[in-house]
Structure 1
Amino acid sequence: MFIARVTGSVVSTQKVATMTGHKLLVVEPYRLDDKKRQSLVTTGRTFIAVDTLGAGENDFVLITQGSSARLTPETKVLPIDAVIIGIVDQVHIDKFSVYSRNESNDR
């Protein structure tokens, strides 16, 4: 499981029947800044994840990948390898708040 930021969406009108009605989002994984350890920084990668929670652009989300992505009731029959399983409210490392959803409206 890891943290990613929603950076966009994908629209696909032609797809396998089991994927009809599922929102696809472009997500960018983030990691803890290894030098300062007081902020999250991008890993520079992007991929597509199925959204089962209603996440929006710029939200930080929890992602699970691989076969674990098909272990939720909503995704058990889907041909996917990445799913959003949570919307992040806050991230604390040591004594620092490195992310707060309430304070990130300027993103």
Structure 2
Amino acid sequence: MELARVIGRCVATVKYPTLTGVRLLVIQPVSGVGEPQGEPIFAADAMQAGPGDLVSWVTGREAALALPDTFAPVDCAVVTIVDHAWSDRAAYGVKDGAG
């Protein structure tokens, strides 16, 4: 699992049937100190996360297992909402980005 900040939502007018009712989020991976790292990615939302939330996400088969229909064609899913995160260099948490 890795950490990311939810930065937006994706609207799809047509979805694969097993994704009906599943929200798609745009997440920005963050470093160990909460700074943006890499490119934003799309993720299926298994936790009802909202903009600004700090979340953890998984890829691969584990992403599909987080959804109600485990045969959904997804490669990335938000699996937890993180209240606070600590590292040896920083502490940060919900919707504050800084600590």
| TM-score between the two structures when normalised by the length of structure 1 | 0.81
The one of 55, 65, 71 equivalent to 1:71 is 65
Greater share of strand = 1
Percent identity, please: 33
Across the aligned residues of Structure 1 and Structure 2, the Cα RMSD in angstroms comes to 2.0
| Residue ranges of structure 1 left out of the alignment (5+ in a row) | 33-38
The one of 90, 93, 102 equivalent to 2:87 is 93
Preserved CA contact (<8 Å) 2:18 2:72: yes
Q: Which runs of 4+ in 1 moved over 3 A?
A: none
| Residue ranges of structure 2 left out of the alignment (5+ in a row) | none
Partner of 1:69, secondary structure, is: helix
How many residue pairs match? The answer is: 98
Question: How far, CA to CA, are the matches of 1:19 and 1:93 in structure 2?
Answer: 35
Q: How does 1:3-14 map to 2 (within 5 A)?
A: 3-14=3-14
Structure 2 residue aligned with 1:35: none
| TM-score between the two structures when normalised by the length of structure 2 | 0.87
Preserved CA contact (<8 Å) 2:18 2:69: no
Q: Does 1:49 align with 2:50?
A: no
